[in-house]
Amino acid sequence: MPDRGRPIHQIQRPGQRPAIQPVRPGERPERPDHRPGVLPERPGQRPGVLPERPGVRPGDRPLRPGVRPGIPDRARTIHRIINRADWLAARRDRSKNIRHRWQQHHPRWDFWKSHPHWAHWRWHRPYRWATWTVVTAWFPWGWSQPVYYSYGDNVYYQGDTVYYGDEALCSAEEYAAQAQEIATSAPEPDEQAEWMPLGVFALTQTEEDAPEPTLFLQLAVNKQGIIAGTFFDSASNVTKPVEGMVDKQTQRSAWTVVDEKWPIMEAGIANLTQDTAPVLVHFEDGQTQSWLLVRLEEPKEAQQEVQAAQPAQKP
């Protein structure tokens, strides 16, 4: 998962906002028995709002252990966007540059080849992704409209308060705690569950001069809303399984590395059907940062390997 502290473009926002196929990913080690269950129904809430929770998050939360070479600490940066047009243009340019470089330098997802028993359907196509129409048909929850979470645009921090549009939702601490509750609420999936791929993404900063991304995510979701996948750090050549959940009331999705509580990443499930998806990263010490997920196309070399590996179809 990303380390906090990399220079990230501050996100600000104008006063008026506009209206706004199955694979099974990586090995999932045993999870502790005390993990909480699925989030309960919360009728009456409009999409995008979770109920108020106590201001203190459970458990002792010291600073996240581990060495972060060359990365200084920094504060939260999800403020209102000043120039939305420039912000969107910069995001588009950043995603184009990443996709262009991706075709030349891409990590190899050999995990999928060595664990075919985890994939009950087209395990060799982790790059496939779902549209919103496919997502609504996949889940049994009867969603009629998508709820988009565009951090810095319709979701932003003002002081210690998180806003959705012009409505105050809760404190920043409560919002991060909600994300952790969602991420850790996934029950053990059925061994026969079908999985729908959400795609492969690069996790990056938004500035044009930001370094080339080294963090990658492959995500899939089953019909219960359980998220699973693979996190890959190409700089250290480390691959870890991730797991999480989609909250059916708010359409927020959150996930983390298996058996780790922090950091927590979250994005709207509707956003994950688009080419780029803003994502929040919540750290154990209370910091929250806004990053960008850029959907990656399957490298041509990998496409050729997949086609060569497929059995010939009978006439």
SS (HEC) of the chain? CCCCCCCCCCECCCCCCCCCCCCCCCCCCCCCCCCCCCCCCCCCCCCCCCCCCCCCCCCCCCCCCCCCCCCCCCCCCECCCCCHHHHHHHHHHHHHHHHHHHCCCCCCCHHHHHCHHHCCCCCCCCCCCCCHHHHHHHCCCCCCCCCCCCECCCEEEECCEEEECCEEEEEHHHHHHHHHHHHCCCCCCCCCCCEEEEEEEEEECCCCCCCCCCEEEEEEEECCCEEEEEEEECCCCEEEEEEEEECCCCCEEEEEECCCCCCEEEEECCHHHCCEEEEEEECCCCCEEEEEEEECCCCHHHHHHHHHHCCCCCC
| 135 vs 154: CA distance, rounded Å | 22
Instruction: State the pLDDT at residue 52.
Output: 39
Instruction: State the pLDDT at residue 192.
Output: 83
Output the tens digit of pLDDT for each of the chain's 315 residues: 776 654 444 444 444 444 434 444 444 444 444 433 333 343 334 444 443 333 333 333 333 333 333 333 444 455 554 444 554 555 455 444 544 454 444 544 444 444 444 443 344 455 677 899 999 999 999 999 999 999 888 999 999 999 999 999 999 999 999 999 999 999 988 888 888 889 889 898 765 666 778 888 989 999 999 999 889 888 888 889 999 999 999 999 999 999 999 999 999 999 999 989 999 999 999 999 989 998 887 655 544 444 454 455 444
Instruction: State the pLDDT at residue 190.
Output: 84
146 neighbors 251 (Cβ within 8 angstroms): yes
Question: Residue 244 contacts by C-beta under 8 Å, 6 or more apart in sequence?
Answer: 182, 183, 186, 226, 227, 228, 253, 254, 255, 256, 265
| 51 vs 309: CA distance, rounded Å | 49
CA angle 79/81/83 to nearest 5° reads 160
Which of 175, 134, 160, 132 shows the shortest CA–CA distance to 270? 132
**Structure tokens given for 237:** 């050549």
Q: Does a cis peptide bond (omega within 30 degrees of 0) precede residue 58?
A: no
Q: Which residues of 123-156 are buried (b: 16+ CB within 10 A; e: fewer)?
A: bbbbbbbbebeebbebbeeebeebbbbbbbbbbb
Instruction: State the pLDDT at residue 68.
Output: 36
Pairing of strands 276-282, 161-164: unpaired
pTM over 0.85: no
Instruction: State the pLDDT at residue 213.
Output: 80
| 15 vs 199: CA distance, rounded Å | 34
Domain positions in the chain are: 84-309
